Structure 1
Amino acid sequence: MNNRLLREPLLHFAAAGALLFALSAIFQHGDGSSGDEIRISQSRIDHLAAVFARGWQRPPTAAELQGLVDDYVRGEVLYREAIKLGLDRDDTVIRRRLRLKMELLAEDLADAVDPGKQALQRYFADHRQDYLHPARLSFRQIYFNSDRRGAAGANARAALARLRGGDNAADIGDSSALRQRYTDESAGRIDRVFGDGFSARLRELPRGRWSGPVRSAYGQHLVYIETFTPRRPAEFTDVQPQVLRDWRQQQQKDLLQRQYLTLRAKYHIHVDGEIRGATSEVARQ
């Protein structure tokens, strides 16, 4: 097998999928225990000691370590007896927890795979529409408080005429915590400050002159658009860390789906009840 094949991420995921199912069996009895035997291995004792040391910033004493082992045995005994009694069945919380652990196991395996630059570049090329630099705006604004002014819009329009006639912008408008000038702000950032839709309304305004009024979550604004940069495709080197995160998330989803389909094939699924939408009578209840 050549080195190129060994570096192929898909081969790693095939191996990871096989390892996932093997680990499922191993984790059921991590210390080699079976039946009614509980065996505490040295690795288990070392793990208990390490967890204690991380929490207390010191190693446990012999008595403390014995207490940790005793508590582990207690938990294992009660866990096994609970399983024998079927207490794990029909318990929504336990079912969700076990499902989460299975999914986290698959995700950890996916995170361990290094896709390599070429695989990431292929993923980036297939999903370029997901990697766009957002539109950015630089603008000045003059605020008119709708709570103070009964006709903030009319006042703003009158002030706009004064501005276009040469009046100083510093002498117009109401004071607020909003800045008078915003430089190279993304559309998302602008909407978080001024309210949803504000950036879209700004993009409709002409550049290089005062315009408005424009309504925000606070009141009315006169706006001077200095620069507007529309959103544009990103270069791979600019977003490589994000591409890696997205690639891994996609691989995790794929691995989880393959895991599920493989495990599901072991079962015969029978749906005995009728699946239907709620009737109008039920919906009213």
Structure 2
Amino acid sequence: MLRSPLLHFLIAGALLFALQSAWSRVPETPVVEVRQSDVDEQLELFRLQLGRPPTPEEARAVARQVEDEAIWLAQAFDLGLHEIDTVVRQRLVLNMQFLETGPGSADAADRPDAPSSEDPLAREQRLFERALELGMERSDTVVRRRLVDRVQAIVRAAVRARPIDEATLRGHFEATAEQWREPEMLDLTHVYLSRDARGDATQGDAERLLTRLVREAIAPEAATALGDPFLAGHRLRGATPARLVARLGPDFAAGVQGGALARWIGPVDSAFGSHLVWIHERVPSRIPELEEVRTRVVEDWIELESRKALREQVEARRKQIEVRVVDDEPADLAG
């Protein structure tokens, strides 16, 4: 029953309706306050990550992102998610346990409101309620992030439950065709000549061996014994350009690109030395059929539609509220 798409659609629709109703039922223009310190913190993080201060346009985008998070957080409080989410509850209880038993604090057993025989569940409830009294759910970064994720998940669930027709899916697939392109793949054998073992003679040894391989028409399987041992093996199957770069370096990957089939080519340099390469097969790059990547295309469509829905929801909310940046601690995140 829980796997029924119809049931998922109904549940997600009910959650989204609750979200939209909560945003529209306030009689006066609510105020969402944003701490200037939160904006400054994100601006500093931007500077550290990029090694430069943000431009005025980038700074406005950062500030708007902080405001958006505050809007989502206010909605989470309106829906009472801070009171029912188990992760939030556990975090707040742990915070209060630390405050009660940490350095400089009286042990919980010595508190007049916490008898030594206190039931564990009762103690957890007391600590949770005390955390809410202190407004800890509004100041703890982990709790804030969790609540934002929870309220955004309601929107995402509604998008995921929305049916997608075949024409829409195919249109999305065709519009993003290059995203699904499969890279070229090579099956090859390489004869390795170690730079560590041969030093300056590596290039000359490789050229002489190439001449011999061609003149005597030595098969790839026998040719590898004429070179040096290679720890990762001499045969690569289904090797994409990315795999070649990871295994042998960018010079090798570039050196075999476009190489002829069923003949010796080289010497091709790598991070380890020189290689003589025999390409057995080349599978050209291709865009697969929709059926081959349907699941991934559906997930990509859901992700794009979810981002769109989140933007639309928060922009709609902005029209209903006043966002106010304050220098001190906000009295209330939800009007």
Q: Give the structure 2 partner of residue 144 of structure 1.
A: 193
Provide the C-alpha distance between the structure 2 equivalents of 1:149 and 1:229, rounded to a whole number of angstroms.
34
Decide whether the 8 Å contact of 2:12 with 2:154 is kept in 1: no
> Corresponding residue for 1:46?
none
Relative contact order (C-alpha < 8 Å, sep 6+): which is higher? 2
Q: Distance in 2 between matches of 1:114 and 1:70?
A: 45
- Give the Å deviation of 1:213: 1.5
Partner of 2:213: 163
Change (3 A) 1:119 1:167: closer
Whether 1:101 and 2:155 are equivalent positions in the alignment is: no
Q: What residue in structure 1 maps to residue 80 of structure 2?
A: 27
The residue identity in structure 2 corresponding to 1:153 is: Q
Aligned position for 1:243: 297
* Aligned length in residues: 228
For residue 233 of structure 1, give the secondary structure of its aligned residue in structure 2.
coil
- Matching residue within 241, 258, 283 for 1:187: 241
Alpha-carbon RMSD: 3.4
Higher helix proportion (structure 1 or 2): 2
Q: Does the aligned pair in 2 maintain the 1:16–1:110 contact within 8 Å? A: no
Contact residue 137 and residue 144 of structure 2 kept, 8 A: yes
Deviation at 1:196, TM superposition (A): 3.8
For residue 202 of structure 1, what is the aligned residue in structure 2? 256
Deviation at 1:171, TM superposition (A): 3.7
Q: Distance in 2 between matches of 1:208 and 1:191?
A: 22
Deviation of 1:148 (Å): 1.1
Q: What are the equivalent positions in structure 2 for 1:72-91 lying under 5 Å apart?
A: 72-83=124-135, 87=136
Alpha-carbon contact 1:203-1:228 (below 8 Å) kept? no
Residue from 212, 227, 230 that aligns with 1:176: 230
Task: Work out the percentage of aligned pairs sharing the same amino acid.
Answer: 25
For residues 72 and 271 of structure 1, the distance between their equivalents in structure 2, rounded to whole angstroms, comes to 35
Report how far residue 254 of structure 1 moved.
1.1
| Structure-2 separation of matches of 1:185 and 1:264 | 50
1:101-129 per-position Cα deviation (integer Å, ceiling 9, x unaligned):
33333333333334243432221122112
SS of equivalent residue, structure 1 residue 232: coil
Structure 1 residues 258-267 or 239-248, which shifts more?
258-267
- TM-score normalised to the size of structure 1? 0.66
Contact 1:13–1:255 (8 Å) recurs in 2: no
TM-score (normalizing by structure 2): 0.58
